[in-house]
């Protein structure tokens, strides 16, 4: 028998500590971020003052140990933070997601003590990080990348181009993947820590996107970029393993982002249904609207439980890859559906930029695409079902 569900932990309510943590972030999002969401979406720029406040609140170093200046929290708390921020602005959520569940965790898991001592305090205090894997011909086939790292004494010379790199416009630290031994295929892929001011390294074009517009997505250009060998993260040729493990974790947080987005859309729909009147009563008194809201709420709660379950499995040191795939797959699906239904509940005004649900609908689309498309998640789940993993 294939043990697909053996590792599942029955979700339990949030602890008092986690509930306070989440409510604090939600209050910050509503009070400080919400007033600027529309303008940031229109300008496609995340405000520097809000980014600074996220650092001050500890949101950029949740799992970084206290001795390095971080909060010493859990992976589950990182997911809670992403979910809470996404109810107001999924762009803010993905900035925190990449920083915590991807970049910080790479350094915590694979970095040397020298690398940790030098960079973790910066990541907790003021340095945004970025994860640079994708290329023009390397998306779902992540390890067909063509960026090359050529050994040169105590250095590597890296040449290539990366695309669709989140946080690139703001980042000071990049975890970049290049092949140091192309003849060995994916076993030559290596992770390098590159600082923004490194000669030969440049942040290029910023993409003009449909959604999560305040979250920067840029190309990176490396032209004979000289990186010290001491900046190799993990071991030479182990980059593929680092990338896989990191993306497996990051998918849980993307599930959290999509769940938070859906919750935000549901909240707007409920609020509007309570006040909008037609035919002498609020539209929330009509059974058709009630049924729609009930289905939306059920989908959101189901996604939340999948995400929380995967995050708790991770923190418990149990297998979580299949559960992470399920969480991301389902949460990204319901985010798009719930946001669409929220627009329908609001009717004509929901289709305008005067109300936030149209933005949430645009933001939801990326959930089926980044950090592993929906089809890739289905492959992961199916292989477990068929006993091929």
Can you read off the two tokens belonging to residue 184?
């060995």
Do 121 and 146 fall within a single domain?
Answer: no
Asked whether residue 265 falls in the same domain as residue 184, the answer is no
Domain that holds residue 379: 240-385
Cα distance between residue 88 and residue 34, in whole Å? 6
Residue 371 among the catalytic residues: yes
Whose CA is closest to 258, among 111, 103, 368, 375? 368
Q: Which CATH number fits the domain that encloses residue 115?
A: 1.10.540.10
130-188, pLDDT tens digit by residue?
999 999 999 888 789 999 999 999 999 999 999 999 999 999 999 999 999 999 999 99
Q: Which of 83, 323, 336, 371 is catalytic?
A: 371
For residue 366, give both structure tokens. Answer: 């990326």
What size, in residues, is the chain? 389
Check whether residue 229 and residue 337 sit in a common domain. no
Among 75, 105, 127, the domain-final residue is 127
Does residue 20 form part of some domain? yes
Q: Does residue 4 form part of some domain?
A: no
- Is residue 8 situated within a structural domain? no
User: What confidence score (pLDDT) does residue 140 get?
Assistant: 85
- Write the DSSP symbol of residue 68: G
Joined together, the tokens standing for residue 3 give 């043990």
Based on the fold, state whether residues 154 and 271 are members of the same structural domain: no
Q: Are residues 255 and 281 in the same domain?
A: yes
Give yes or no: residues 104 and 146 share one domain: no
In a domain, 315, yes or no: yes
Q: Where are the beta strands (DSSP E) in 34-188?
A: 129-132, 148-152, 155-166, 173-179
Same domain, 188 and 283: no
Q: Do 108 and 155 belong to one domain? A: no
In-domain check, residue 63: yes
Q: Report the candidate in 67, 92, 283, 102 with the shortest Cα–Cα distance to residue 177.
A: 102
Q: Please state, rounded to an integer, the average pLDDT across all residues of the chain.
A: 95
Quote the pTM value.
Answer: 0.95
Residue ranges in the chain whose pLDDT is less than 70: 1-12, 388-389
Evaluate whether 123 touches 115 at the Cβ level (below 8 Å): no
Total domains, the chain: 3
């Amino acid at each position: 028998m294939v043990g697909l569900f053996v590792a599942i932990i029955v979700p339990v309510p949030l602890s008092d500590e986690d509930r306070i943590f989440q409510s604090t972030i939600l209050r910050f999002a509503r009070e400080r971020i919400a007033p600027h969401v529309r303008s940031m979406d229109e300008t496609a720029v995340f405000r520097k003052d809000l980014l600074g406040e996220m650092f001050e609140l500890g949101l950029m170093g949740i799992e970084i140990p206290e001795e390095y200046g971080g909060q010493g929290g859990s992976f589950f708390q990182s997911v809670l933070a992403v979910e809470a921020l996404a109810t107001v602005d999924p762009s803010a959520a993905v900035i925190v997601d990449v920083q915590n569940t991807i970049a910080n965790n790479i350094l915590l898991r694979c970095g040397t003590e020298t690398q940790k001592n030098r960079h973790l305090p910066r990541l907790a205090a003021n340095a945004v990080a970025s994860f640079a894997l994708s290329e023009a011909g390397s998306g779902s086939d992540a390890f067909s990348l063509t960026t090359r790292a050529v050994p040169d004494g105590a250095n590597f010379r890296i040449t290539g181009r990366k695309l669709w790199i989140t946080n690139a416009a703001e980042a000071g630290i990049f975890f970049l993947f290049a092949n140091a031994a192309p003849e060995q295929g994916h076993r030559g892929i290596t992770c390098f820590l590159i600082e923004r001011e490194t000669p030969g390294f440049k942040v290029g074009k910023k993409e003009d996107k449909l959604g999560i517009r305040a979250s920067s997505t840029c190309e990176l250009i490396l032209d004979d970029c000289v990186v010290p060998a001491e900046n190799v993260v993990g071991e030479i040729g182990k980059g593929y393993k680092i990338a896989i493990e990191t993306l497996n974790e990051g998918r849980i947080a993307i599930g959290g982002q999509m769940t938070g987005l859906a919750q935000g859309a549901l909240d707007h729909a409920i609020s509007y249904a309570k006040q909008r009147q037609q035919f002498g009563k609020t539209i929330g008194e009509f059974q058709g609207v009630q049924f729609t809201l009930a289905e939306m709420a059920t989908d959101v709660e189901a996604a939340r439980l999948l995400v929380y379950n995967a995050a708790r499995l991770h923190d418990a040191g149990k297998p979580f890859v299949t559960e992470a795939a399920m969480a991301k797959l389902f949460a990204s699906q319901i985010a798009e559906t719930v946001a669409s239904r929220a627009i329908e509940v609001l009717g004509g005004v929901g289709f305008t930029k005067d109300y936030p649900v149209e933005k949430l609908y645009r933001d939801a689309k990326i959930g089926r695409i980044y950090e592993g498309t929906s089809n890739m998640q289905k492959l992961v789940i199916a292989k477990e079902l068929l006993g091929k993993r």
